[in-house]
Amino acid sequence: MAGDNKVGVLPLFFCWALTAVAFVAKALSTAATVPLILDTDDAMRLTMVHDFLDGQGWFDLVQHRLNTPYGALMHWSRLIDLPEASLLFLLRPAFGAAADIALVYAWPLLLLVPLLWLTARLALRLGGRAALWPGLLLSSLSLITLVEFAPGRLDHHAVQILLALAMLWCAVVALERPRFALGAGVAAGAALTIGIESLPVVGATIMAFGLAWVATARQSVALRDFGLSFALSTLLGLAQGVPPGRWLVPAADAISGTYALAAILCGLAFLVLSLLPLRTVPVRLGAGLVAGAIAVALVVLSFPAILAGPYGQMDPWLLANWVDRISEAEPLWTSFASGPVYVVAVAVPVVTGLAVVAWNIVRRPQERGAWLVYGLVLTIAFVVMLLQIRAARFAVPLAAPACAALIGATWHRMVRTNGFGPILAMLGSVAASAGLIVAVFGTLVVAAFPAYDAGTIDPNRPGRQSCLMPAAFADLAGLPPERIMTPIDLGSHMLLYTPHAVVAAPYHRNEQGVLDTFRFFNGPIEEGRAILRARGIALVAICPAMSEVRGLVAHTADSFVSLFAAGTLPGWLREMSAAGAPLKVYSVEP
């Protein structure tokens, strides 16, 4: 039976190669119009990798050219910088100036291998051999894979997805092989260390091990091993990522003493519970609830700021006018109005996966434990996705193994049964499980309503993309280092492609820089001039297609935004950009 659970090198390589070729072909075909590094986080990540290779310290997470001239502390983990920097170091002798391009192709395509493998292993465990090929192929037909594992993607989300799948797979296998709980605990600690976006999946995994122990006392070994490995890996994550002087400084937006204490208490609680002779389900449930309540109370009493969440200490104006307007933080029903195709394409596979879970819980009592663990994690991921659409990056990959099991079952029935019913059932299972197929159907439906279709098209998108092409920064890159005021969404690319420093990029820890940027563009121009003077800003660079320049928030009649729209900027802003250039650059005259 052990051999039946192997993915196999040839199927894995075939599906990886097929997907990689498609991704590379897409990137090359759009290279003239779509920046390879499009997302601001990917640009900032590569900037941090450059700084790390240039000698910036492991514990020095300040982006010294951001919030100029003061610098801004980032909340990201070196655990992503290290492998990317190592790969870039190895690529530079062979590729020279093109090493960055080689990196942004190689890194996400390398991560595609464990994505396919983990999905297939979990599909095999849930659906048997018939689910192997669907498990390998569904990841390639997912919109999340198209975004998070495509060339140009350097941010940490792909690694978080892999760790979420590893947690879930280990949790399911640990029901029969308790030592796999160690892997789940290590993955959970690593996921929290890299970014707290993984917190809901980590919390769901903790609940899964706890409830599995409540259901049957023989899960005490897995409970203990998960708790101890989770606590230890989180402590190691804190030690490697935060200097000792800041271990007790509370932070809700990154690995900190707050999360380390929670992990330690979880580990201690699971250890004690595993050792107690609690013989009945009600007694174990009561003991677990008491232990959980004590752990939560101790964390809140020690670090009460955790109740306010990762943005709890931010300026209320920024929360209302910036953070709350981030499109990926919108609930699913709000996102549907502006991007129905994407929302449907990520929601349908997850709902399909949940339906498969429910069916198997009812119809396969011998496998009920595995499906209950799987269903708990997937349900929590789905609920979080309803509240914030960006959580689809977790929910959709986690749903793929269940969808693969469905396709495998319908295929098995089709080849054994005559008639059109089984054929239609198999085709329907594929259509409901593959986000790319759902997106194609959704696009056709939206196109049938031209008025609505036109309303969902952003006419400024090509202009924004042209501003983020490397060529747009060529002239600026040739100038000696200066301090530049840019729109917030232009800051990361300015840092990547030029030697200059900027006031803001879209990172909440740079609160003062973001506030000053909003005030410069939207407040009275003379107050904006005072901000430039205080920071020693020599240049102002804008992308006219960006929403910040077109009036993202309320602005005064004498603001930069208003004066630029009217073509009446003051004389102390002297344009120095070439005619037709994507970026407009102004020197700040005395």
> Containing H/E element for 194?
helix 180-194
pLDDT in tens, 439-476: 999 888 888 877 666 566 778 888 999 999 999 999 99
The SS3 assignment for 524 reads strand
Segment 106-110 long-range contacts (CB within 8 Å, at least 24 positions apart) = 107/83, 107/153, 107/154, 108/23, 108/148, 108/149, 108/150, 108/151, 108/152, 108/153, 108/154, 108/158, 109/20, 109/23, 109/24, 109/149, 109/151
Q: Where are the domains of the chain?
A: 2-32+75-410, 461-588
What does each of the 590 residues of the chain score in pLDDT, given as a tens digit?
A: 333 578 889 999 999 999 999 999 999 999 999 999 999 999 999 999 999 999 999 999 999 999 999 999 999 999 999 999 999 999 999 999 999 999 999 999 999 999 999 999 999 999 999 999 999 999 889 999 999 999 999 999 999 999 999 999 999 999 999 999 999 999 999 999 999 999 999 999 999 999 999 999 999 999 999 999 999 999 999 999 999 888 988 889 999 999 999 999 999 999 999 999 998 999 999 999 999 999 999 999 999 989 888 888 889 999 988 988 888 888 998 888 888 899 999 999 999 999 999 999 999 989 999 999 999 999 999 999 999 999 999 999 999 999 999 999 999 889 888 888 889 999 999 999 999 999 999 888 888 877 666 566 778 888 999 999 999 999 999 999 999 999 999 999 999 999 999 999 999 999 999 999 999 999 999 999 999 999 999 999 999 999 999 888 889 999 999 999 999 999 999 999 988 899 999 999 98
- Tell me the chain's radius of gyration from C-alpha atoms: 26
Phi, psi dihedral angles at 195 (to 5 degrees) = 180, 140
CA distance 283 to 214: 9
**Interhelix angle 132-140/420-433, nearest 10 degrees:** 40
Say what the pLDDT of residue 4 is.
58
What are the residues whose beta carbons fall under 8 Å from the beta carbon of 11, sequence distance 6 or more? 120, 132, 133, 136
CA distance 91 to 73: 29
Contact (CB, 8 A) for 263 and 270: no
Tell me yes or no: is domain 461-588 CATH 3.40.50.300: no
What are the residues whose beta carbons fall under 8 Å from the beta carbon of 447, sequence distance 6 or more? 453
Token code pair at residue 169: 């797979």
Task: Give me the helices (H) in 195-305, please.
Answer: 199-215, 220-241, 257-275, 281-302
The SS3 assignment for 501 reads strand
pLDDT in tens, 374-421: 999 999 999 999 999 999 999 999 999 999 999 999 998 898 888 888
DSSP per residue, 319-342: HHHTGGG-GGGS-HHHHHHH-HHH
Say what the pLDDT of residue 3 is.
38
